[in-house]
A and B are shown apart, each in its own frame.
Chain A
Amino acid sequence: MENRTDKNSYTIIFAIVMVLIVGSLLAFTASSLKPNIAENKRLEKQQNILYAMGVNENDETSANFVSTDKAPELFKKYIKKQLVIQDGKVTEDDEAYLIDVKKEQANAKSGKARRLPLLEGEKDGKTFYIAPIRGKGLWDAIWAYVAMDENMVIQGAYFDHKGETPGLGANIKQRFFMDDFIGEHLLDASNNFKGIDVSKSNADPKNEDKTDNEVDAIAGATITGNGVAAMIKSDLKLYVPFFKNLKNN
């Protein structure tokens, strides 16, 4: 006897109904949760930026952001100016931190002008310039918020990634890696932009030499590390004219 569920017509109807139900269920979930997710992402950006300029709740070894409910208030308090650099012109924009770096990179690739967001923060009388940058790791995107002083010396950095290998590439967001960047010079001795190499042959694992344009790489995470170095080199280089101007004035 043929089973009811073996019939072709039943199979097709089942498939159609299933797709309709699952499809609308997913669409409903996605659209009803969208505002919450967008808000979470916005707060995370504020937390990341504050983290880079040293406003965080770090303990001895782990990286901790300020809490999400305090983030907007602290962001207002510490971030004094939000700048957008486009074709060498600097304008102020109160939502510069929301600029999508990925989109701007795509714009630049297709020949359009790229908007570069730069946030000016102030803490304990010190000025920080924080730039969001983005690049490629081993599996997926990696990005960072790098805080610099007016000489392009790194004051703090927060790295993050979409899907690097846990325990290896994913360790770029660990303190032992991020903290190595603090104090590193992006310019070389003759003030030309050199970036920072994530180096496997680094002879300075304790990172005492801050002007060698190198930090120690993570074992087993060569490609992610190279991605970090490449992202710093290509994206932060774009800010060099801004810092040159800053010094001349």
Chain B
Amino acid sequence: MGLLSKKDAKLITDPLADNNPITIQVLGICSALAITAELKASIVMAVSVMAVLAIGNVVISLMRNIIPSKIRIIVQLVVVAALVIIVDQVLKAFAYELSKTLSVFVGLIITNCIIMGRFEAFALANKPWRSFLDGIGNAAGYGLILIIVGFFRELLGSGTLLGFKVLGDPIEKTGLYAIGYENNGFMLLSPMALIVVGIIIWIQRTKNTALIEDH
């Protein structure tokens, strides 16, 4: 491994598990609830957040010495909003199909707490390259949880994965449905996303007891 130093590599691997934005820092829960009813949407959201967070982190990091501390949150908001709008416009002009798939997510990206959180906690105090890695790492940690939740919600709620009927056809009663299996419609509602995230947190902290906070 000559590409990344040990310290830099940690910026990417840490948020995947022991410092995961969703399960440990409890950031970005809102969008995790909203869009994980199907796997495809989870993946698209994960990729979009990664792009915005990585670029945004670099921009904020480049400006870190000239941003007045009194209005730094506003500056961060302006940067992320401008970035998202430009990306949205460019997609609409040159990749219209893709922009239609992304439509709902664009608004959600701006409001994602992870983005503001990383700008504030990391990019304002670190060099661009490290901020870039931090953005990639945190977005990956966020995306990982999104994809896990999306996987279970789509599988158990609709009996499909990425739209493919993996468990058989519920109306024609083929596959698993032939022996009396039923989709759990409750999985499609947002409370179940919270419960799935809760189960992930439970498993993660059982495996690594150092993560349990004592009060």
Contacts and interface: CB of A to CB of B under 8 A. Distances in A.
B17 interface: no
Interface string B73-114: 011001000100110011011101000000110010000000
A37 interface: yes
Of B90, B94, B96, most buried by chain A (CB within 10 Å of CB) is B96
A220 B67 CA distance: 45
A165 B96 contact: no
Describe A's contact surface by its main secondary structure. Answer: helix
B169 to A, nearest CB: 11
Describe B's contact surface by its main secondary structure. Answer: helix
A205 B38 contact: no
Interface in B156-188: 157-158, 163, 171, 185, 188
B93 A167 contact: no
Nearest to B44: A166
Contacts of A68: 96
A26 B82 contact: yes
B103 A5 contact: no
Contacts of A168: 37, 188
Interface residues of B, number: 38
A18 B74 CA distance: 11
Contacts of A220: 37, 185, 188-189
Contacts of B41: 166-167
Of B89, B93, B153, B163, most buried by chain A (CB within 10 Å of CB) is B93
Interface in B36-82: 36-38, 40-41, 65-71, 74-75, 78, 82
6 interchain residue pairs of minimum CB distance: A167-B37, A167-B38, A36-B93, A166-B41, A33-B93, A11-B68
Given A36-B94, A167-B154, 10 more contacts: A6-B70, A14-B71, A26-B85, A61-B163, A163-B107, A165-B35, A165-B104, A166-B37, A206-B171, A220-B189
Interface of B: 34-38, 40-41, 65-71, 74-75, 78, 82, 85-86, 89-90, 92-94, 96, 103-104, 107, 153-154, 157-158, 163, 171, 185, 188-189
